[in-house]
Chain A
Amino acid sequence: KAGVTQTPRYLIKTRGQQVTLSCSPISGHRSVSWYQQTPGQGLQFLFEYFSETQRNKGNFPGRFSGRQFSNSRSEMNVSTLELGDSALYLCASSSAGTSGAKQFFGPGTRLTVL
């Protein structure tokens, strides 16, 4: 099976703009989780979608949002970008909807905010 894919791989934006990132899970996987990775804060959970419903949300401001489509592909959106939003955004897919399901990561989208 093909792995998790993310587009675009690199993105440069300026403060105040908004951005949409896309994640395609492994075929058959219905859960998609999003994480932010920065040198200072490490890997932090943003939110998780399962069957088009957001089930969990991390401690991020409302500028960070997401959605999932019927084919399990997911998008996350960041509005009113700030310099501190520069990070590697990773998505991970899982086949099961329960805790303890293995999560497989995509290559990430490197977002730079100028």
Chain B
Amino acid sequence: GENVEQHPSTLSVQEGDSAVIKCTYSDSASNYFPWYKQELGKRPQLIIDIRSNVGEKKDQRIAVTLNKTAKHFSLHITETQPEDSAVYFCAASTGANNLFFGTGTRLTVIP
């Protein structure tokens, strides 16, 4: 089955700096890659996603890049703010709505 690895497990950045989280996947059949943000005690919230026919996607301060050849994808957050502090999960899907998640990255933005 699909195996998704995520790094780093924790990340601390100064407010205003950029944060980058990286994920790799094992199954070349994976074709959908969403990112979720989960604040403490809350549900995972979809923040951005990318499909395998696209190399990069941007939404305001958030961007995701995908390298199908290398089987890795990354989340980039620019101009970080304290409210960006949360756990971020990457995921990959090989079929109908079955997401395989990375282990999560705890991002702390220091004011």
Q: Which residues of A contact B (CB under 8 A)?
A: 31, 33, 35, 42-45, 48, 50, 55-56, 58-59, 90, 92, 94, 97-108
Give the chain A neighbours of B44 by CB distance below 8 A.
43, 90, 105
| Cross-chain contact B101 with A99 (CB below 8 angstroms) | no
| Cross-chain contact A100 with B98 (CB below 8 angstroms) | no
Shortest CB-to-CB span from B66 to chain A, Å, is 13
Give the chain B neighbours of A50 by CB distance below 8 A.
96-97
Q: Would you give 30 A-B contacts (Cβ < 8 Å), ordered by A?
A: A33-B97, A33-B98, A33-B99, A42-B101, A42-B104, A43-B89, A43-B101, A45-B98, A45-B99, A48-B97, A55-B96, A55-B97, A56-B97, A56-B98, A58-B98, A90-B43, A90-B44, A92-B97, A99-B31, A99-B32, A99-B93, A99-B94, A99-B95, A100-B31, A100-B32, A100-B93, A102-B34, A102-B49, A103-B99, A105-B43
B12 at the interface (CB under 8 A from A): no
B67 at the interface (CB under 8 A from A): no
Give the chain B neighbours of A104 by CB distance below 8 A.
46
Interface size on B, residues (CB 8 A): 26
Q: Please measure, in the bound complex, the distance between the C-alpha atom of A33 and the C-alpha atom of B107, giving whole angstroms.
A: 27
Q: Please measure, in the bound complex, the distance between the C-alpha atom of A45 and the C-alpha atom of B101, giving whole angstroms.
A: 8
Name B97's contact: one of A44, A90, A101, A105 (CB within 8 Å). Answer: A101
B103 at the interface (CB under 8 A from A): yes
Closest 6 interchain pairs by CB? Answer: A43-B101, A100-B32, A56-B98, A105-B43, A48-B97, A105-B44
Q: Please measure, in the bound complex, the distance between the C-alpha atom of A36 and the C-alpha atom of B101, giving whole angstroms.
A: 11
Shortest CB-to-CB span from A37 to chain B, Å, is 8
**39-74 of chain B: CB within 8 A of chain A:** 42-46, 49, 51
